[in-house]
Amino acid sequence: MEGPNVAGLSLYATLGSEKGQTLNRYLKRWPRLVWVGVGTLLVVGAILAGRGLAPSHDPLLAQEKAAYAARGDAGQTANMNAAMRALAARHEPGVRRADLWARPLGWSSLDLKRPPSLGLAEADSETAEQLNALRPFARLPIRPMQPFVLASAGEDRARALDCLTQAVYYEAAREPEVGQEAVAQVVLNRMRHPAYPKTVCGVVYQGAARTTGCQFTFTCDGSMRYAPQPALWRQARGVAEQALGGFVDKTVGSATHYHAQYVSPYWAPTLVKMVQVGQHIFYRWTGPWGEPPAFTGRYAGGEAYLSPAVLGSLDARTQGGLLAPELQGPVERKITLAVNGEVRTYSVMDPGTLGAVAPQARGMLTLTRRQPTPDEIKRINQSLEAMERSMEPARSAPPPSLAPASGGRASPGV
């Protein structure tokens, strides 16, 4: 009995030790198995979730969704009229519709830190030509300017001729002669307009000291670094001499601005579009300041001196904002009078405008009545107050029939 019992215990002990070792091995591997299982569950869950979130390509399912959405919208808009439903559909979130004006996305946002822009300044030549074609020419008459003859001699005339020749050459050397004459006319028009310098060189080089903003591009873009071609320079000089000698180009009239047809400047829609000559489109000021009677400036001379103010100034019309009405020169009105059977039309000028003396010219009437100055108004009020104070005793006096023969006094001014 003892032997088998010993053998049984030995076998039990052996089996027990093997089970214990196996259990120990499982206990040691248990954390690794747990993490493997958790990772497997996460991967399977992600795959299932991705399949659930992915858009379905089943057409039947898409039709069911659309029908469900339509039923929901119909329920919400059942009590709306057609206009309300259209407005609600227009502002429905998540629906992107094409803009009827072909405006880019975000056009309605406005950055207050910089002026809004439609990108016209950056338009290529083809787009600029299309934009220029969309702006019609004005149907207003083009009135010719009075001839300008530069009576100065010597250095002033020589410098004025050089500056005008440069403008004609660098702006229109490849243009036909009529195009060159139009450019020269614009320079002289500006010289006689109240808003621009009163010398030929001052007009040509206005704003030349600025990086941007020069009135004639060749004065600030480096064009004069290149020597002119002799034949074209002689032709431009002949046009300039002709203009300074009294020639008037009636094609452009009172034009003060122009640009090439392959560019579309921002200021073009703000002026009167007059005519196109060659590759240039010409414009004038709007209103009375764009008509010939407004060009009352006189040639000042001193072509050799270009002040820093002129070299750094801007165009008050297109770059400095519209001038205030009180600064916009004489306001012209026309009247027709019949005297001794003869009918004549006169221009009536207000001398009080600009605080300057009205020009004396044939066929022009000058108003003698003007607005009083503040000092004059003050003196008038003081006189009225003195009159009122002097009238107070007379008001308290007895009626004339009862007053003493020597007791009354007349009130001043009556």
Q: What is the pLDDT of residues 270-286, one digit of tens each?
A: 899 999 999 999 999 99
Give the domain-ending residue among 323, 351, 381: 323
Q: Could you give the CA distance from residue 414 to residue 412 in angstroms, rounded to a whole number? A: 6
Quote the tokens at residue 66: 């659309």
**Alpha helix segments (H runs only) across 260-370:** 308-311
User: Is residue 54, in this structure, part of any structural domain at all?
Assistant: no
Q: Could you give the CA distance from residue 400 to residue 375 in angstroms, rounded to a whole number? A: 39
Do 291 and 262 fall into the same domain?
yes
> Quick one: pLDDT at residue 326?
39
pLDDT in tens, 98-157: 555 655 555 555 565 665 555 544 567 788 888 899 999 999 999 999 999 998 878 999
Please count the helices (runs of H) and the strands (runs of E) in the chain: 10, 6
Do 259 and 380 fall into the same domain?
no
Q: Could you give the CA distance from residue 276 to residue 203 in angstroms, rounded to a whole number? A: 22
Work out whether the CA dihedral 186, 309, 208, 125 comes out positive or negative.
Answer: negative
Q: Render the burial of 178-212: b for 16+ CB within 10 Å, e for the rest.
A: ebbbbbbbbbbbbbbbbbbbbbbbbbbbbbbbbee
Q: Could you give the CA distance from residue 335 to residue 327 in angstroms, rounded to a whole number? A: 24
Helix (H) or strand (E) holding 343: strand 342-349
E strands in 121-263: 257-260
Task: Name the burial class of residue 277, with classes exposed (0-12), middle (13-18) and buried (19+) by CB atoms within 10 angstroms of its CB.
Answer: buried
Do 252 and 355 fall into the same domain?
no
> Quick one: pLDDT at residue 151?
86
The CATH number of whichever domain residue 192 belongs to comes to 1.10.10.2520
Give the domain-ending residue among 301, 323, 345: 323
Q: Which residues pair with 335 in a beta bridge?
A: 346
User: Is residue 357, in this structure, part of any structural domain at all?
Assistant: yes
Task: Name the burial class of residue 285, with classes exposed (0-12), middle (13-18) and buried (19+) by CB atoms within 10 angstroms of its CB.
Answer: buried
User: Is residue 155, in this structure, part of any structural domain at all?
Assistant: yes
Q: Could you give the CA distance from residue 328 to residue 289 in angstroms, rounded to a whole number? A: 7
Tell me the CB-side half-sphere exposure of residue 3, using CA atoms within 13 A.
Answer: 0
Domain span including residue 143: 131-323
Do 258 and 292 fall into the same domain?
yes
Which segments in the chain show pLDDT lower than 70? 1-31, 33, 46-78, 90-123, 320-341, 344, 346-371, 392-414
Q: Could you give the CA distance from residue 135 to residue 273 in angstroms, rounded to a whole number? A: 8
Do 172 and 298 fall into the same domain?
yes
Our count of domains for the chain comes to 2
Q: Could you give the CA distance from residue 405 to residue 37 in angstroms, rounded to a whole number? A: 134
Contacts of 81 (CB under 8 A, 6+ apart): none
Give the domain-ending residue among 290, 323, 356: 323
Helix (H, G, I), strand (E, B) or coil at 414: coil
Do 246 and 369 fall into the same domain?
no
User: Is residue 143, in this structure, part of any structural domain at all?
Assistant: yes
Q: Which of 298, 367, 363, 299 is nearest to 330 (CA)?
A: 367
Q: Which of 265, 262, 300, 308 is nearest to 127 (CA)?
A: 262
